[in-house]
């Protein structure tokens, strides 16, 4: 898997295989944030509800793109579209399951090796072709993966 810091030439993948598993992961994270109250002090509270919509929407109406950074970090853009409109959001996803697998690589029977994670889903999908047509609105979200703000957040997570 290509894991590179922001260069403007990321390996983007459209998540087509495992989309329902992706939604389950997002749903678990959303529910955790709600149980712990973490969602109530997020800088952009509405982003929580955008991810919640993405987690429960019809997978047929969902478009998910992801690119990888080092240290089990992914930049995810997701759009849910239906008759009522569309919700588009993006976030940096830290794949703690993949990180734990690395820590437990000698323990093959450890349960963490049986959990589907974003790294698994990312690897199941093909690299987005350079000439792929991407909606300009969605492309704007994808371009944020190279922004100084995202780069700083990724750098902080990957070194900290």
Could you tell me which residues come within 8 angstroms of residue 64 by beta carbon, excluding any fewer than 6 positions away?
14, 15, 19, 22, 54, 76, 77, 78, 79
Rg, the chain, Cα only: 16
Backbone φ and ψ for 105, nearest 5 degrees, come out as -60, -25
Q: Does residue 68 belong to any structural domain of this protein?
A: yes
Q: Does residue 6 belong to any structural domain of this protein?
A: no
Q: What is the pLDDT of residues 84-131, one digit of tens each?
A: 999 999 999 999 999 999 999 899 899 999 999 999 999 999 999 888
Q: Does residue 3 belong to any structural domain of this protein?
A: no
- Residue appearing with tokens 């323990």: 107
Q: Does residue 49 belong to any structural domain of this protein?
A: yes
Q: Does residue 2 belong to any structural domain of this protein?
A: no
DSSP assignments along 66-118, one per residue: EEEETTTEEEEEEEEEETTEEEEEEEEEE-HHHHHHHHTTT-TTSGGGGS--H
Q: What is the pLDDT of residues 31-41, one digit of tens each?
A: 999 999 878 77
What pLDDT does 100 receive?
93
List the one residue out of 67, 43, 74, 65 whose CA is nearest residue 137: 65
Confidence check: pLDDT of 157 > 80: no
- Residue appearing with tokens 């889903």: 121
Residue 144, domain extent: 12-159
Q: What is the pLDDT of residues 35-80, one digit of tens each?
A: 998 787 777 788 889 999 999 999 999 999 999 998 899 999 999 9
Domain count, the chain: 1
132 pLDDT band (50/70/90 cuts)? confident
Long-range contacts of 128-134 (CB under 8 A, 24+ apart): 128/11, 128/12, 128/13, 128/14, 128/65, 132/14, 134/65
137 pLDDT band (50/70/90 cuts)? confident
- Residue appearing with tokens 């987005």: 128
């Amino acid at each position: 898997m290509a894991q590179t810091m922001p260069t403007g030439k990321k390996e983007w993948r459209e998540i087509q295989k495992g989309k329902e598993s992706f939604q389950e992961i997002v749903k678990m994270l959303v529910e955790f944030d709600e149980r712990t109250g973490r969602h109530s002090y997020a800088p952009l509270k509405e982003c929580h509800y955008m991810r919640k919509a993405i987690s429960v929407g019809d997978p047929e109406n969902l478009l998910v793109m992801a690119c990888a950074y080092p240290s089990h970090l992914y930049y995810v853009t997701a759009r849910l579209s239906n008759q009522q409109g569309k919700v588009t959001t993006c976030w940096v996803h830290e794949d703690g399951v993949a990180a734990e697998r690395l820590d437990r690589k000698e323990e093959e029977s450890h349960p963490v090796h049986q959990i589907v994670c974003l790294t698994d889903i990312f690897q199941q999908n093909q690299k987005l072709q350079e000439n792929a047509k991407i909606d300009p609105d969605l492309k704007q979200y994808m371009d944020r993966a190279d922004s100084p703000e995202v780069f700083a957040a990724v750098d902080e997570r990957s070194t900290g």
